[in-house]
Structure 1
Amino acid sequence: MQRVTNQALFQHLDKTIASVLFEENTYPWEVLPKIHDFILEVGMLLSKEEYDEVKEHVWVAKSATVAPTAFINGPAIIGPEAEIRHCAFIRGNAIVGEKAVVGNSTELKNVILFDRVQVPHYNYVGDSILGYKSHMGAGSITSNVKSDKKLVEIRIGDYKIETRMKKVGAMLGDYVEVGCGSILNPGSIVGRHTNIYPLSSVRGYVDAHSIYKKRNEIVPKDEY
């Protein structure tokens, strides 16, 4: 389905160091298994004038700010002017874009955060991709494994796409705003410029340029 392709969700592919992964793949969840090897390959080529390899397979831009209490496990790339705040926990396979914010007690695992993404307060983001300038409110999380442990499906109305993967979190298009305390269930896809109300439980695909109030109440922004 065209609506959930990389081309539809991410119009700012120049705003991530991993742009080639999106250009070479049709859907964002296809990128997830390739993050690890991509970081290892690209990390070795990063300019030593711009990046420090602070420990094995962890490359941090010299202009980034990393709190002493933050933990970063490799492989990982932390982009220019990114901010990794107090007690952030980056478990590995993470690309944090330029001027992105990873906040207090936020946990990342197998993710790509485009430039200027903000996950600033008590967020869990796993097996997920967050487009340019997307933002997750305090306490909002991506759930990446189904409770029955079955493989994740991408649902668009009555249509479904098999991912053949057990762990798939959320794919947020550019400029998505997720309200505080929301849960993005496995395989959630949120189109560009969409707002998710606080305390929402999101499942399946949400159209671009929408306001998600609850499952059966999603309105176009131009009608709000």
Structure 2
Amino acid sequence: MSITNLETHHFFHLRGDEMIAPFFALHRYPWTMLPSIGEFIRHQGSLLSDDHYELRGSDVWVARSAKIWDYVTIDGPVIIGEGTEIRPGAFIRGNVYVGPNSVVGNSTELKNSIFVEHVEAPHYNYIGDSILASHAHMGAGSITSNLRADRENIVIHYEGHNIETGLRKMGAILAEHVEVGCNAVLNPGVMLCEHAMVYPVSCVRVSMPAYTIHKNQGQIVRRTERL
């Protein structure tokens, strides 16, 4: 299977009017966006309307329709989109775009990441150096690992291909409607194509094609209507 399936336009089906669409259009592969997220946020934040967004501190733009609970820590640059909810104890530590109608939950930490829209990381998640497409969902306690133990650059493993990213830190790239089960670990450089599903308490080491399931023993099977 060709690595063209990993191209940005396969993972993210954006409308032309979405805030992030021009930024995504600049990148053939999604992992090449990761070093530029902070620059994108600062540029885009400076263009936001005061009617819809409020500047809270240094380089932190929050939609007026977003709900930010007490005891949340946000370090810029960050954009929080319309209708999004940031729950108590969340830690957003820079270079983060949380798109519209998303949920960042209790004790969840985000770093250098993008949530497109309708993304949920509602309970005890760590998401670093990652991009999650619309309607992606991280189950309670599931995390992205973004640094190899040997500190070497991240390599993406997909259908027999080994793709050098040139990045020392990279978490996961999730396409639309991906479901990650509770307490699963996504290893550095994992890419999950649309409608992929990861069983709870799994350790995912390789990227997954669309409409597949990662079972607990590492077996990847085709997804059917009845699971």
Quick check: TM above 0.5? yes
Counterpart residue number, 2:85: 83
Bigger CA drift: 91-100 or 16-25?
16-25
Counterpart residue number, 2:11: 9
Q: Kindly provide the CA deviation profile for residues 109-128 of structure 1, in whole angstroms up to 9, marking residues without a partner as x.
A: 00000111000000000000
The structure carrying a bigger strand percent of its residues is 1
Contact 1:190 1:208 survives alignment (8 Å): yes
Gaps of 5+ in 2: none
Q: Report the alpha carbon displacement of residue 157 of structure 1 after superposing the two structures with TM.
A: 3.2
State how far apart, in whole Å, the 2-side matches of 1:193 and 1:91 are.
29
Contact 1:87 1:104 survives alignment (8 Å): yes
Shift in alpha-carbon separation, 1:12–1:222, aligned structure 2, 3 A? farther
State how 1:68-79 maps to structure 2 within 5 Å: 68-79=70-81
Contact 1:144 1:187 survives alignment (8 Å): yes
Amino acid at match of 2:88: H
State how far apart, in whole Å, the 2-side matches of 1:211 and 1:22 are.
27
Q: TM-score, normalised by structure 2?
A: 0.95
Counterpart residue number, 2:106: 104
Please give the secondary structure, in 2, of the residue aligned with 1:25.
coil
Aligned equivalent of 2:169, options 146, 167, 170: 167
Bigger CA drift: 3-12 or 118-127?
3-12
Aligned equivalent of 1:53, options 52, 55, 61: 55
Gaps of 5+ in 1: none
State how far apart, in whole Å, the 2-side matches of 1:198 and 1:204 are.
16
Contact 1:15 1:115 survives alignment (8 Å): no
Counterpart residue number, 2:133: 131
Counterpart residue number, 2:201: 199
Please give the secondary structure, in 1, of the residue aligned with 2:130.
strand
Shift in alpha-carbon separation, 1:122–1:16, aligned structure 2, 3 A? farther
Paired-residue identity, %: 45
Question: What RMSD over aligned residues (CA atoms) do the two structures have, in Å?
Answer: 1.4
Q: TM-score, normalised by structure 1?
A: 0.96
Q: Kindly provide the CA deviation profile for residues 152-199 of structure 1, in whole angstroms up to 9, marking residues without a partner as x.
A: 011113311111110000000000000000000000000101111000
Amino acid at match of 1:187: G
State how far apart, in whole Å, the 2-side matches of 1:18 and 1:216 are.
34
Is 1:140 paired with 2:178?
no
Q: Kindly provide the CA deviation profile for residues 59-85 of structure 1, in whole angstroms up to 9, marking residues without a partner as x.
A: 000000001210110000000010000
Shift in alpha-carbon separation, 1:158–1:180, aligned structure 2, 3 A? same
